[in-house]
Amino acid sequence: MKIVLVGYMYAGKTTVGKRIANMLNFSFVDTDKRVEEICLQSVEEIFDRVGEEYFRQKEREVFLSLLKEDNIVIATGGGLPCYKDNMNLINLYCKSIYLELSPAQIFSRLNKSNNIRPLLKNIKSEDRLEFIETSLQARESFYRKADITLSALSINKEELEKRINELFRRL
Ligand code: S3P
């Protein structure tokens, strides 16, 4: 069993993914972190030095290699499900969870964060909400293919356990 978390930046995929992995005693991998380990550079450095397209290829390679593993929870970067046929592969081989947040909620988390992701870094603060709205709209059709959707704002332990059981019942 492989569980994959998808959703926009700042949805909390890593935090929730780790909690699910702990609950199930599964291993946990964050695709961004794995790419950084392989490339020996931060995601930001990869975007700056070799560009987004190279990063997309690397994150796909990482994802494909993780398909060989089992009993694993995978937190994906926000763009991964929207590149090539990644989302179809996710649903073919894994159970998927969309962590949903509205553009306003994403914007509010971004403003509280001290880690401004590369895609947002070069966008003026006053234009960021609009960028989030437009890019989330473009990405949502991919995210919505996930097996279940969870509101990223209200994830308590009971709700999480209930929804994970739901995923297992769908096996
Ligand atoms: C990206 C999201 C980031 C990271 C990269 C690109 C995106 O991951 O993969 O900065 O395109 O949405 P998080 O979703 O974990 O922030």
Q: What is the pLDDT of residues 87-132, one digit of tens each?
A: 999 999 999 999 999 999 999 999 999 999 999 999 999 999 999 9
Tokens found for residue 141: 């059709």
Listed residue (38, 36, 153) closest to 102, CA to CA: 153
Task: Note the helical H segments in the chain.
Answer: 13-24, 31-39, 43-49, 52-66, 86-93, 103-112, 118-121, 125-143, 157-169
pLDDT mean over 8-29: 97
Residue 57: predicted pLDDT:
98
Per-residue CA distances from 109 to 10, 88, 104, 144 (Å): 6, 29, 9, 21
CA–centroid distance, residue 71 to ligand 1 (Å): 24
Q: What is the pLDDT of residues 53-99, one digit of tens each?
A: 999 999 999 999 999 999 999 999 999 999 999 999 999 999 999 99
Whether residue 143 has pLDDT greater than 70: yes
Ligand 1 pocket test, candidate residues 117, 128, 137, most atoms within 8 A of CB: 117
Q: 155 pLDDT band (50/70/90 cuts)?
A: confident
Ligand 1 pocket test, candidate residues 14, 32, 48, 120, most atoms within 8 A of CB: 32
Whether residue 171 has pLDDT greater than 70: no
Q: Measured between alpha carbons, how far is 55 from 52 in angstroms, rounded to an integer?
A: 5
The DSSP 8-state label assigned to residue 41 in this structure reads S
Q: What is the pLDDT of residues 35-58, one digit of tens each?
A: 999 999 999 999 999 999 999 999
* Ligand 1 pocket residue status of 81, Cβ below 6 Å: no
* Ligand 1 pocket residue status of 136, Cβ below 6 Å: no
Residue 154: predicted pLDDT:
80
Ligand 1 atom with the shortest distance to the CA of 118: 10
- Write down the pTM of the prediction: 0.96
Which helix (H) or strand (E) segment holds residue 144: the answer is none
Q: Give the residue, by CA position, lying nearest to ligand 1 atom 11.
A: 79
Tokens found for residue 117: 């992701």
Q: Measured between alpha carbons, how far is 29 from 108 in angstroms, rounded to an integer?
A: 26
CA–centroid distance, residue 26 to ligand 1 (Å): 23
Q: What are the two backbone dihedrals, phi and then psi, of residue 30, each rounded to the nearest 5 degrees?
A: -105, 120
Q: Give the residue, by CA position, lying nearest to ligand 1 atom 8.
A: 77
CA–centroid distance, residue 164 to ligand 1 (Å): 24
